[in-house]
Amino acid sequence: MKIVFLDFDGVLNTLHYTATDEERESWSRELWAAGELDPDMVVRLNEIVETADASIVLSTSWSHSSSNAVLASYLHLRGLKDPGRVIGSLPLMAIRTPRPGTQRAARNYKFTHPMAPNKSVKWNRLRCILDYLDRVKPEAFVILEDAHPMGPLEDHTVRTNMATGLQSEHVEKALRLLG
């Protein structure tokens, strides 16, 4: 199995795109948030998952407020050919900023992992991806991400940015990483 860990913000939506009100008029109210996803970026996502025959695991904060089925329907509405490729999401923990030096900070936001034996991993999205990889053991994976540090997984990360989102050069790198 090949996996694409997919963030939305900065990957499929950008600072410069939102659907028009005219586009959204035909959608049910529940689907309005889909208008933040740029269909051009979703075409590029299609190229990755179709060419590599990969599945999608959502690693987006949008998972906090919407189910996988709803997010898959957003992707489908904006052009994802097969919403069945969305097979799950990371169990992202609530993002809190504990006071530095407290036991809560040390307990909840630091851990060691075999892929980073001499480092303390401090951000929960990375931790959730590492845990997922331990459980599923895919043959190949790529992380589509704009901002969050990926530490020991940076070599598997295709780094986009909030201004331009997923571009052709990102598709090429993702396909190389997926083999």
- Residue 101, domain extent: 2-178
- What pTM was computed for the model? 0.81
Q: State the CATH number of the domain containing residue 64.
A: 3.40.50.1000
**118 φ/ψ angles, rounded to the nearest 5 degrees:** -105, 15
DSSP 60-81: SGGGGTS-HHHHHHHHHHTT-S
CA-nearest of 126, 58, 64 to 86 is: 58
- pLDDT digits 0-9 by tens, 18-62: 767 777 777 666 676 887 899 999 999 999 999 999 999 999 988
How far is Cα 69 from Cα 53, in angstroms, rounded to an integer? 20
Question: Pick from 84, 52, 68: which is nearest to 8 by CA?
Answer: 68
CA distance 162 to 142: 18
H helix runs in the chain, sequence order: 21-25, 39-52, 68-77, 103-109, 124-136, 168-178
Please report the pLDDT score of residue 30 as a whole number.
Answer: 66
- Are 139 and 124 within 8 A, CB to CB? no
pLDDT over 70 at 164, yes or no = yes
Q: How many Å apart are CA 31 and CA 35, to the nearest integer?
A: 8
Please tell me the predicted confidence (pLDDT) of residue 29.
65
| Domains held by the chain: number | 1
Question: Do residues 89 and 74 touch, judged by C-beta distance below 8 A?
Answer: no
CA–centroid distance for 39 within its chain: 16
Lowest mean pLDDT among 32-36, 100-104, 130-134, 165-169: 100-104
Better pLDDT: 20 or 87: 87
Residue 8 has pLDDT above 50, yes or no: yes
In this prediction, residue 92 carries a pLDDT of 57
Output 99 or 67, whichever has higher pLDDT: 67
